[in-house]
């Protein structure tokens, strides 16, 4: 698991990997993002990386293995994560726009409080994944395994969960507008707590 070193500016946030400051107090956050992207793209397996608060646009994160990394409060636009493997990673309070997560394997990963706009998770493994408090718009999860994942208090709009495994997936207190669960096993999902 990643180690947290406090930002040298004294704000209490963790510093970026290989830096003494967080993204907010960095003299050049774009340069820090570029440095970390270069590191990621030079590896097939990425471990214990802290990239909190950075912005990533049109970056290829695909075909890699990620273990215990933190991407909290990041912005991802037009990024590709296809056929990647994620274990114990944190993307809480991040923003994703037009990102491709198709055929990706996520386990024990958190996207709590994040926003997704026009993304795809088609054909993915999303096992024990936390989407609690997220907002999901125009996003597809078709042909995915969402076993024991959490969409608690999540707003889901104009999105598809067609032919998905939603066994033991929690959608408690979620708001759904124009959402399709066609051919998914919704009888095995949890939409409200039993009284």
Class of the CATH-defined domain 52-188: mainly beta
In a 13 Å sphere around the CA of 151, the CA atoms on its Cβ side amount to 27
Ranges assigned E (strand) in 20-169: 45-47, 55-57, 65-67, 75-77, 85-87, 95-97, 105-107, 115-117, 125-127, 135-137, 155-160
pLDDT confidence of 195, banded at 50, 70, 90? low
Give domain limits for the chain.
Answer: 52-188
Q: What is the pLDDT of residue 193?
A: 78
- Model confidence over 104-121: pLDDT tens digits? 999 999 999 999 999 999
The pTM of the full predicted model, rounded to 2 decimals, is: 0.95
Residue 130 has pLDDT above 80, yes or no: yes
pLDDT, the chain, mean: 97
pLDDT confidence of 4, banded at 50, 70, 90? confident
Whether residue 126 contacts residue 105, with contact meaning beta carbons closer than 8 Å, is answered with no
């Amino acid at each position: 698991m990643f180690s947290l070193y406090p930002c040298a500016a004294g704000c209490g946030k963790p510093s970026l990997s290989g830096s003494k400051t967080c993204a907010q107090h960095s003299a050049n956050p774009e340069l820090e993002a570029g440095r970390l992207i270069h590191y990621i793209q030079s590896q097939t397996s990425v471990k214990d990386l802290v990239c909190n608060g950075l912005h990533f646009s049109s970056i290829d994160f695909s075909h890699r293995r990620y273990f215990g990394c933190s991407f909290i409060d990041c912005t991802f636009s037009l990024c590709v994560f296809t056929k990647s493997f994620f274990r114990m990673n944190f993307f809480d309070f991040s923003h994703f726009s037009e990102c491709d997560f198709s055929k990706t394997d996520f386990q024990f990963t958190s996207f709590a409080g994040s926003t997704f706009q026009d993304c795809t998770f088609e054909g993915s493994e999303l096992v024990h994944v936390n989407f609690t408090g997220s907002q999901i718009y125009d996003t597809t999860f078709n042909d995915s395994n969402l076993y024991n994942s959490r969409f608690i208090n999540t707003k889901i709009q104009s999105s598809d969960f067609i032919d998905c495994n939603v066994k033991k997936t929690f959608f408690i207190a979620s708001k759904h507008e124009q959402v399709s669960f066609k051919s998914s096993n919704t009888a095995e999902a949890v939409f409200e707590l039993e009284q």
